[in-house]
Amino acid sequence: MHSEKIALTQTVQKGGCAAKVAATELRRILQQVGFPATHPALLVDGRLFDDAAIYKINETVALVQTLDFFTPIVDTPKLFGEIAAANALSDVYAMGGKPVTAMGILAFPLAAMAEHIIVDVLQGASDKIAEAGANFVGGHSIDDDTLKFGLSVTGFVNPQQVWTNAGAKPGDHLILTKALGTGTLTAAIKRQQLREDDIMEALHSMAAINNAIDCMTPDLQAAVHAATDITGFGFSGHAMQLANASEVTLRIETGELPRFGKTFHCLEQAYLTKAHRTNAEYTAPHIEIASLDELHKLLIHDPQTSGGLLLSVAPEASRAMLQALHTRFKSAAIVGNVLPRQDRAVSFE
């Protein structure tokens, strides 16, 4: 038994996907960088803010490549490893692929933290990678002031069956697979207003891998016209990116958005992150939220860590899709539909 107990969230200023560089700042930086011309085999890159890159190997195999890491969002080391791994693996699932290898990215304060902490983080990640049927093949570590962990993940997908955020069609139904609220709930943990035991529903959700494709028959897989996962830019930001990439407008029935039991309580108590503000600023010119009350405005901007998939699905398949998803994602819900492009990218009603 290890006698030393440490609350990981108290060792960092920002945790999880809420620690992302704000989207407006990131875009400003990237616009100043001269990227090389893309190879013809590169089917998807970062231009439309997709979740991962797709590189075609041959007519039936393409690589899916992604990377994600962050600072602790929970206090328990093994749980942090599980959530960080599930979050990184999610980008491959969001492209319709399956992960095959994962490499760890680890920064760790050797002088300030006991070795067993990082052993637990790595074990949590290893267990989650194994659950996904992938291989933990190595990685890179540095001695740093604060703990950071994540994965670089490579997967495979059929190049004819790639999901991107650019394929949503008017008439499609929108399905969200996980509940919202991880940002405010974990902010309450960091402020020591809640304990992990108080938000087990959200912790289990964050640690759940987004392997939706194994729930689906080939026909259902083909009914997915566009997909993204909901992470640090909130439901509002990722929905906006999907709408803009697809050149459509998303109509969201905001009251249908699934949320965790304590989400509104924590938002009412103003357990917020910087990302609540920056997500609101990022999306303000592009979304319509005039009909929403303050709690629902905060909900859609809440930065998710290891959040759910947002799927744009052919309407005739949406009920069967939801039934299939419920075998693994109990909170999955139809939350809106796709319209031809209007003035705003997303209309919240």
Q: Is residue 245 part of a domain?
A: yes
Active site residue 17: yes
Q: Choose the final residue of a domain: 125, 157, 189.
A: 157
Looking at residue 113, its amino acid is: M
Residue 162 falls within a domain, yes or no? no
Residues 79, 219 within the same domain: no
Mark whether 19 and 82 lie in a shared domain: yes
* Residues 217, 130 share a domain: no
Structural domain tally of the chain?
A: 2
DSSP string, 166-209: S---TT-EEEE-S-B-HHHHHHHHHTTSS-GGGGHHHHHHHHS-
In a domain, 167, yes or no: no
Residue 304 lies in a domain: yes
* Claim to verify: residue 40 and residue 84 sit in the same structural domain: yes
227 and 256 assigned to the same domain: yes
Domain at 261, CATH number: 3.90.650.10
Burial class (CB in 10 A: 0-12, 13-18, 19+), 160: exposed
Q: Are 164 and 119 in contact (CB under 8 A)?
A: no
Q: Which of 123, 157, 191 is the last residue of a domain?
A: 157
Residue 58 lies in a domain: yes
CB atoms within 10 A of CB 170: 12
* Angle, alpha carbons 123-260-131 (nearest 5°): 25
Beta bridge partner(s), residue 55: 42, 63
Query: What is the domain-level CATH number for residue 14?
Result: 3.30.1330.10
What single string gives the DSSP state of each residue in 245-263? HHTEEEEE-GGGS-B-TTH
| Percentages (nearest 5) of helix, strand, coil residues in the chain | 40, 25, 40
- Angle (CA) 48-69-163 rounded to 5° is 35
177 lies in the same domain as 153: no
Tokens of 206: 């964050």
**Residue 164 maps to a domain:** no
Exactly one of 17, 187, 194, 243 is catalytic; which is it? 17
Q: What is the pLDDT along the chain (349 residues), one digit of tens a residue?
A: 343 567 888 876 665 556 667 777 887 888 888 887 778 999 988 776 667 899 999 999 999 999 999 899 999 999 999 999 999 999 999 999 999 999 999 999 988 899 999 999 999 999 999 999 999 999 999 999 999 999 999 999 999 999 999 999 999 999 999 999 999 999 999 999 999 999 999 999 999 999 999 999 999 999 999 999 999 999 999 999 999 999 999 999 999 999 999 999 999 999 999 999 999 999 999 999 999 999 999 999 999 999 999 999 999 999 999 999 999 999 999 999 999 999 999 999 9
Q: Is 341 contained in some domain?
A: yes
Domain span including residue 219: 173-348
